[in-house]
Amino acid sequence: MRKNTSRLLAIAVTAAMAATAMAATAGPAAAATPSAAAVSDPFYTYDGSVSLASLAPGTVLKTRTLQYHLLGLPTPVKAIQLLYRTTDAQGRPAANVTTVVRSLTGDGSKAVSYQSFYDSLSPQDGPSRAIAGDLTLGGLIPNVEALFLVPLLSQGYNLVIPDTEGQTADFAAGPEYATNTLDSIRAATRSAATGMNSDTSFGLMGYSGGAIATDWAAALAPGYAPEVNRKLVGFTEGGLLVDPAHNLKYVDGSLVWSGVIPMAVIGVSRSFGIDLKPYLNNYGLTVYQQLEHGSIADALGHYPGLTWKKMAKPQYADPNSVPAFLAAVNRINLGSAPTPTIPGYIAQGNGGVLEGTFGNPPGIGTGDGVMVAGDVRALARQYCATGNGPIKFQQYDLLSHVGVPVVWAPQAIGWLKDRFAGRTAPSDCGHIPAGNSLAPEQPASTS
């Protein structure tokens, strides 16, 4: 395994360099086109022989074993992929895919559920597709993330890597990210091929979009999957989306991250089955169409100075004047979600000016370029006040969203190692600076 992981690490470094070069040369808002093989791959389709509604969440529907690919090239590492039953954002049964990578130095007693930050509105960009060998622009991110995965494999952890956004790529739908993640763990422990079972202990880990899945999974586990929650040793995350309504105001008009505004509009619409197009002007509809199947690579830096107001019809210049949107963003506000019952390590940057986000809205403040630091502090304090799991919190004032993972990931792996070893979790409760109000958004005043 040592030889295989060393080769995987070498390929991952090459992948990171290639991904950086490819992203830098990508044309404006040019969504990557998936290969015909990716679109037609029958593994992702459930045949419906038994109604999904009659199956328990986490039921394994299909299994296959293949080579772990990086940048479309096979590596010596084997991966097991599972099609499993889960639940979407509207509570409907759905089928999704997760990938399991077994550590040859481990015994299957411990595993890390790693949530990717592939952030895309195209299901073809999911980590399972990249691992299976398909290569898209948006799918470059899961290739780069092998840099985080190799150290975990070498330390004896099995890896479970769910397609957190599901098969319709419901971007930013936190509750659905959670069910996809928790049912992925259920499936992994029910498949004989993975070497894991109901006694396997799990840690949750994710950054940015992966942090959305990680935090929501930790929050919903006690109610949605209590048997999984009992096996969780802790969650670690960085660059977290807490209150989406705040984030939209923070990135409004930014140079790089403003493209997440239409991505969020599309993701919220898709996730909860609402139509926000009637509220958009002609320019907003054009941007919507450009990004409808795009990834974060298609959005970053391609819409400098974009604001909600530029996309909306005049009477909807305040997003809080759109009832459907208001209801949706309040549903994905972590401040209104349950508190995790397990220890957590939360990291957040606050150097957003480095990435061209200069906003400092009243009551919201600054952040790492896309995520609001005050929101993350408030959530960490809320967890301290209402939970029974110690919270370690770290804010990097000089680092931006892209910079934090470099310092967070090694510390996160070390923190998880201590949780698996049963050591007492550190706590910063009582020392976390005050944050923002996470109260639900209210309708815009019509006076």
Any idea which residue has 């919903």 for tokens?
Answer: 220
Do 161 and 169 touch, CB atoms closer than 8 A? no
| pLDDT at position 2 | 52
- H helix or E strand, kind and range, residue 361: none
Domain carrying residue 232:
2-239
Q: How many domains does the chain have?
A: 1
The answer to whether residues 342 and 235 touch, using CB atoms and an 8 Å cutoff, is yes
Supply the DSSP symbol for 401.
T
Is 366 a member of any domain? no
Contact 101, 111 (CB under 8 A): no
Question: Residue 76, CB half-sphere, CA atoms under 13 Å: how many?
Answer: 13
Asked if 118 and 138 touch (Cβ cutoff 8 Å), the reply is yes
Tokens representing 117?
Answer: 């930050």
DSSP H stretches of helix in 111-190: 127-132, 140-144, 146-154, 174-190
CATH number, residue 58: 3.40.50.1820
Give residue-wise pLDDT tens across range 231-243.
999 999 999 999 9
Amino acid at 164: T
* Amino acid 314: pLDDT: 97
User: Residue 310's pLDDT is what?
Assistant: 97
pLDDT on residue 32: 37
What's the CA gap between 371 and 395, in Å, rounded? Answer: 12
Give me the pLDDT at residue 27, please: 44
CB within 8 Å of 284: residues ≥ 6 apart: 262, 310, 311, 312
**Structural domain contains residue 70:** yes
Considering the entire predicted model, what is its pTM?
A: 0.93
- The pLDDT assigned to 26 comes to 44
Residue 3 is predicted with a pLDDT of 55
What DSSP string runs through 198-230?
TT-EEEEEEETHHHHHHHHHHHHHHHH-HHHHT
Q: Is residue 152 part of a domain?
A: yes
Low-confidence ranges of the chain (pLDDT < 70): 1-39, 446-447
Residue 94 main-chain phi, psi, to 5 deg: -150, 165
Structural domain includes residue 443: no
Q: Where are the alpha helices (DSSP H) in 226-372?
A: 226-229, 244-251, 260-272, 282-291, 296-299, 308-311, 323-331
Instruction: Judge whether 215 lies within some domain.
Output: yes
Q: Identify whether 412 is part of a domain.
A: no
Residue 240 to residue 379: CA distance in whole angstroms: 10
What was the pLDDT predicted at 21? 40
Is 234 a member of any domain? yes
Indicate whether 37 belongs to any domain. yes
